[in-house]
């Protein structure tokens, strides 16, 4: 895992539908590479599609995908006092919004989402979980007129960027979902590949798997592997941990959107067993990712995910070794598909 690059990717603002900073970073990195065998395209939704030649071309059409967008918020109203009301872009619990630092708009204006002091709330009110309606971003403006010099309706609000390494090889950062996936795929594109491959950095995953739907219909892959983060609830009081941070690459057989291809699932598991790549599966059918859309283009789909705590909050936590395991599995899959073709149905 290239931590420097992962940090740079995580620190960028990239709300769904506003992924340009992330896309431009990736484009700039791709430009640096001597890649005459590479075709780089951006479609009208903003998906970044890279077709790269490998050692073999006589293979099923393979697509690997990671999404560039992160959950965020958007300014819906500027009050007379200069406060910014907002709505969520993607699924964020207001509990994860209240009392945080944020950045607003293209100029990353610093702000906070405050809370009425508890001293001024009744005992009943203190027990009420926050609602998005009751929250606003404060950038320090004293009036609407002043606020409008710096921000506008429709400006994106992202969590203030942070990146920490801590504990026993763990990472806490904004937007690990799914900049970790983007980071792995960027590194992959710098290597010589065993077979032709289409790498897609998708848009708008968090608001309905929308970029993936368009990209898959254009690429028409036979096989697609989605590189994602998936929710780990391995906490002390948890009834069901779902999967464990530090437990290895998560290979899913099913989630809320997709029943994954059985042969691809078993292939991934056996490659891990053979090659000593730590792996696990989820003990709960929950969540969803771009595979949910890609499968509807006709592709056989698989998800290889890094277990990640605190998804859709300002700081996700993952284990670096899990990312390495996902990377190793991805390489093993590509090599196998290049050598043996698609697993028999």
Taking CB under 8 A as the rule, does residue 31 contact another protein?
A: no
CA distance 110 to 217: 39
CA distance 251 to 41: 29
By rule CB under 8 A, what count of residues binds another protein? 68
- Three-class HEC string of 318-340: EEHHHHHHHHHHHHHHHHHHHHH
Nearest distance from C-beta of residue 29 to another protein, angstroms: 28
Non-local (6+) Cβ contacts of 63 within 8 A are 197, 198, 199, 200, 215, 216, 219, 221, 223, 224, 225, 294, 299
Which residue in 39, 76, 91, 273 binds another protein (CB under 8 A)? Answer: 91
CA distance 253 to 63: 19
Which residue in 24, 55, 81, 270 binds another protein (CB under 8 A)? Answer: 81
CA distance 62 to 256: 24
Using the rule CB under 8 A, give the single segment among 35-43, 57-65, 91-99, 298-306 that binds another protein: 91-99
Tokens representing 343 are 């697993």
Taking CB under 8 A as the rule, does residue 23 contact another protein?
A: no
Taking CB under 8 A as the rule, does residue 153 contact another protein?
A: no
Q: Is 205 noted as a catalytic residue in this protein?
A: yes
CA distances in angstroms from 43 to 10, 35, 162, 211, 340, listed in the order given: 23, 20, 30, 9, 32
Q: Which is nearer to another protein, 315 or 323 (CB)?
A: 315
Which residue in 39, 106, 116, 285 binds another protein (CB under 8 A)? Answer: 116
Taking CB under 8 A as the rule, does residue 96 contact another protein?
A: yes
Q: Spot the catalytic one: 19, 70, 205, 206.
A: 205
Taking CB under 8 A as the rule, does residue 124 contact another protein?
A: no
Non-local (6+) Cβ contacts of 293 within 8 A are 209, 210, 212, 213, 216
Which residue in 4, 31, 120, 124 binds another protein (CB under 8 A)? Answer: 120
- What are the backbone dihedrals phi and psi of residue 32, each rounded to the nearest 5 degrees, phi first? -70, -20
Taking CB under 8 A as the rule, does residue 183 contact another protein?
A: no
Which residue in 32, 57, 58, 166 binds another protein (CB under 8 A)? Answer: 166
Q: Is 341 helix (H, G, I), strand (E, B) or coil?
A: coil
Which residue in 204, 231, 258, 295 binds another protein (CB under 8 A)? Answer: 231
- Alpha helices by DSSP H, 109-159: 123-126, 144-147
The residues binding another protein (CB under 8 A) are: 79, 81, 83, 91-93, 95-96, 98-101, 109-120, 126-130, 134-136, 138-142, 146, 150, 160, 162, 164, 166-170, 172, 231, 233-237, 242, 246, 256, 284, 286-287, 309-315, 317
């Amino acid at each position: 895992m290239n931590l420097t690059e992962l940090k740079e990717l995580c620190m960028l603002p990239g709300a769904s539908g506003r992924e340009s900073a992330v896309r431009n970073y990736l484009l700039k990195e791709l430009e640096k590479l001597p890649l005459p065998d590479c075709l780089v395209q951006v479609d009208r939704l903003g998906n970044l599609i890279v077709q790269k030649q490998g050692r073999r071309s006589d293979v099923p059409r393979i697509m690997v995908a990671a999404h560039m967008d992160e959950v965020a918020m958007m300014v819906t109203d500027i009050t007379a006092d200069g406060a910014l009301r907002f709505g969520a872009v993607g699924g964020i619990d207001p509990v994860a919004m209240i009392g945080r630092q944020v950045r607003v708009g293209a100029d990353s204006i610093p702000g906070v989402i405050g809370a009425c002091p508890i001293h001024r709330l009744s005992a009943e009110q203190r027990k009420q979980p926050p609602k998005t309606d009751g929250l606003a971003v404060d950038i320090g403006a004293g009036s609407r007129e002043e606020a409008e010099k710096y921000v506008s309706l429709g400006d994106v609000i992202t969590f203030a960027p942070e990146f920490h390494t801590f504990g026993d090889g763990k990472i806490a950062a904004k937007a690990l979902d799914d900049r970790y996936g983007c980071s792995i795929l960027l590194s992959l594109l710098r290597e010589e590949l065993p077979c032709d491959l289409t790498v897609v950095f998708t848009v708008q995953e968090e608001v309905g798997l929308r970029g993936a739907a368009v990209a898959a219909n254009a690429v028409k892959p036979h096989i697609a592997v989605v590189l994602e983060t998936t929710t780990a609830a391995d906490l002390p009081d948890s009834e069901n941990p779902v999967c464990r941070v530090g437990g290895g690459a998560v290979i899913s057989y099913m989630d809320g959107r997709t029943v994954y291809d059985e042969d691809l699932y078993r292939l991934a598991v056996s490659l891990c067993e053979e090659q000593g790549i730590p792996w696990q599966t989820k003990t709960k059918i929950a969540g969803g990712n771009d595979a949910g859309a890609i499968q509807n283009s006709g592709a056989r789909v698989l998800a290889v995910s890094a277990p990640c705590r605190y998804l859709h909050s300002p700081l996700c936590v993952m284990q670096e070794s899990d990312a390495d395991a996902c990377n190793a599995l991805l390489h093993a899959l590509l090599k196998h598909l290049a050598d043996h073709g698609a697993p028999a149905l």
